[in-house]
């Protein structure tokens, strides 16, 4: 069975546990950018997870009824449109190729859906996620309700299908892990390429171009998010994008960039000296962030909590802030005080990681599921989860902060797969230690 059909079978089993019903999962709409130019099309992640189908204007319907059924609605073949826009499967070929029980033209959905929703207890869909879907469902429901006097009942319950799907998507299967490993490899090569290219006088966009070249030439379809290439003080702007600032001798460059491959994201940050050699103060803060990341990696293992990595990294970073004089002990007190009072936030203002998958900030609850009313603990890590580990330190000029550290911004970000005994760093091919980075940049 193909991995998508396997996932559909699992969703249907979960729907059945909740009394059965009909699930409706549309793909994403096409979006215009300006005039006749549209944004590059990206399908909906939930839809793709269950179909492997990448065309726009498609909807998956799953029926957990007397028998299980998976039905695709998609665009019909259209010779005229295919001359302009390229191949489309059409229902017959899509059914065959992707293993659906039936497939119909998307134009028939308004007549077919009310039939499929007749005498069904529950609807499963992404509640309130799209005005278009909400409006369609209202119309389909009204059409079923109109047949009440003919003895036809309509669904009386709506369940947010994302609750089922998010839990499934949080644990990656073998098919997904293989793609994520390849995406991580491509992005690792891209970071190494940017390091090798760097020299004073180039601009941030030159390094962005190197990243994009590597992504695309290795088969990635898109960057998974807007690439950050930030040199000098720009590295202290968390959501800076690659701009046109000049790379200057003696400055660092922070690159946060990852490719999307076959719908799966990678997410890597590396920070390196423009000229290939870390200065003393840069080295001191870089080692600190590296040690914080190592502490987080050490507690990324099954049975640990999602937040254990953040807590471990924070402890190392906060101690380092005291040791380097970024924070003045006389003003802020002990390590415990710095953590309790949040003084570290002056230099470290984000969390240490997030789930990673088809979406760069992937779906999945960050809290364990517990009976209603009980306090939810942070999620327990399990094999198959993938998360980023990305501590950093950002020093904006301020009174009392040693000048030698001003405008240094450092983040080190890797993608970790939780295994049976610990974690695998999928992005291990991106040079990371000072020795590795300086060696790559010397070569
Ligand atoms: N690149 C997005 C993030 O690191 O969360
Ligand atoms: Mn990230
Ligand atoms: Mn990132």
Q: Domain residues of the chain, as ranges?
A: 3-169, 171-442
pLDDT along the chain (443 residues), means of 10: 95 96 97 94 98 98 95 97 96 97 98 96 95 96 94 95 97 98 98 98 98 98 98 97 95 98 98 98 98 98 98 98 98 97 98 98 95 93 98 97 98 98 98 98 93
For the Cβ of 256 lying below 6 angstroms from any atom of ligand 1, the answer is yes
**Which residue's CA lies nearest to atom 4 of ligand 1?**
267
The whole-number pLDDT of residue 1 equals 76
**Catalytic machinery residues:** 36, 239, 256, 267, 350, 354, 361, 390, 394, 411, 413
Cα distance between residue 31 and residue 18, in whole Å: 35
Distances (CA, A) of 8 to 15, 64, 66, 380: 10, 11, 16, 25
The whole-number pLDDT of residue 182 equals 98
Contact 275, 200 (CB under 8 A): yes
Contact 362, 176 (CB under 8 A): no
Which helix or strand (DSSP H or E) is residue 217 part of?
helix 204-217
Cα distance between residue 203 and residue 251, in whole Å: 12
Distance between first and last Cα of the chain? 47
For the Cβ of 225 lying below 6 angstroms from any atom of ligand 1, the answer is yes
Phi, psi at 282, each rounded to 5°: -65, -45
For the Cβ of 360 lying below 6 angstroms from any atom of ligand 1, the answer is yes
Closest CA to 91 of 81, 80, 101: 101
The whole-number pLDDT of residue 207 equals 98
CATH class of the domain defined by 171-442: alpha beta
The whole-number pLDDT of residue 333 equals 96
Return the half-sphere exposure (C-beta side, CA atoms, 13 A cut-off) of residue 3.
14
Determine what percent of the chain falls in helix, strand and coil, rounding each to the nearest 5. 40, 20, 40
Cα distance between residue 239 and residue 260, in whole Å: 19
Q: Are strands 423-425 and 252-257 parallel, antiparallel or unpaired?
A: unpaired
Contact 85, 41 (CB under 8 A): no
The number of the ligand 1 atom at minimal distance from the alpha carbon of 360 is 2
DSSP state of 51: H
Q: Is the pTM of this model over 0.95?
A: yes
The number of the ligand 1 atom at minimal distance from the alpha carbon of 390 is 4
Q: E strands of 75-149, at which residues?
A: 102-105, 122-125
Same fold, 3-169 and 171-442: no
Closest CA to 267 of 173, 381, 386: 386
DSSP state of 224: S
The whole-number pLDDT of residue 30 equals 96
Contact 47, 25 (CB under 8 A): yes
Task: Determine the residue of 208, 224, 225 to mutate for testing ligand 1's pocket, defined as the one with the most ligand atoms within 8 A of the Cβ atom.
Answer: 225
Contact 257, 268 (CB under 8 A): yes
Fold held by 3-169? Creatine Amidinohydrolase; Chain A, domain 1 (3.40.350)
Is the CA virtual torsion 357, 362, 367, 372 positive or negative?
A: negative
């Amino acid at each position: 069975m193909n991995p998508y059909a396997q996932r559909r079978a699992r969703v249907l089993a979960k729907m059945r546990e909740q009394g059965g019903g009909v699930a409706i999962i549309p793909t994403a709409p096409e979006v215009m950018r300006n005039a006749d130019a549209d944004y590059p099309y990206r399908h909906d992640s939930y839809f793709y997870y269950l179909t492997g189908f990448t065309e726009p204007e498609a909807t998956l319907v799953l029926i957990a009824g007397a028998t299980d059924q998976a039905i695709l609605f998609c665009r019909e073949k259209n010779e005229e449109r295919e001359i302009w826009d390229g191949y489309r499967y059409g229902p017959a070929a899509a059914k065959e190729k992707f293993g659906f029980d039936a497939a119909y033209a998307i134009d028939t959905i308004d007549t077919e859906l009310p039939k499929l929703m007749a005498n069904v207890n529950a609807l499963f869909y992404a509640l309130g996620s799209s005005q278009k879907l909400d409006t369609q469902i209202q119309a389909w429901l009204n059409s079923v309700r109109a047949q009440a006097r003919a003895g036809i009942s309509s669904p009386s319950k709506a369940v947010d299908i994302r609750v089922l799907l998010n839990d499934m998507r949080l644990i990656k299967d073998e098919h997904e892990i293989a793609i994520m490993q390849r995406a991580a490899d491509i992005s690792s090569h891209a970071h190494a390429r940017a390091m090798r290219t760097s020299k004073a006088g180039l601009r941030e966009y030159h390094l962005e171009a190197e990243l994009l070249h590597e992504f695309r030439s290795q088969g990635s379809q898109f960057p998974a998010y807007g690439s950050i290439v930030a040199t000098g003080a720009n590295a202290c702007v968390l959501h800076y994008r690659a701009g046109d600032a000049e790379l200057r001798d003696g400055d660092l460059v922070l690159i946060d960039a990852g490719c999307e491959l076959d719908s799966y994201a990678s997410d890597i940050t590396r920070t390196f000296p423009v000229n290939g050699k870390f200065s003393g103060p840069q080295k001191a803060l870089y080692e600190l962030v590296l040690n914080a990341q190592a502490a987080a990696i050490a507690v990324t293992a099954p049975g640990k909590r999602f937040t254990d990595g953040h807590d471990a990294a924070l402890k190392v970073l906060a101690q380092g802030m005291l040791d380097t004089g970024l924070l003045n002990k006389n003003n802020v007190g002990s390590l415990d005080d710095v953590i309790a009072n949040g003084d570290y936030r002056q230099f470290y203002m984000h969390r240490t990681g997030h789930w990673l998958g088809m979406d760069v900030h992937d779906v999945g609850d960050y809290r364990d599921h517990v009976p209603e009313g009980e306090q939810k603990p942070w999620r327990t890590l399990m094999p198959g989860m993938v998360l980023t580990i990305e501590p950093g330190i950002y020093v904006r000029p301020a009174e009392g902060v040693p000048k030698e550290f001003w405008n240094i911004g450092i983040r080190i970000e890797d993608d970790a797969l939780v295994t049976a005994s610990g974690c695998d760093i999928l992005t291990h091919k991106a040079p990371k230690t000072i020795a590795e980075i300086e060696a790559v940049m010397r070569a």
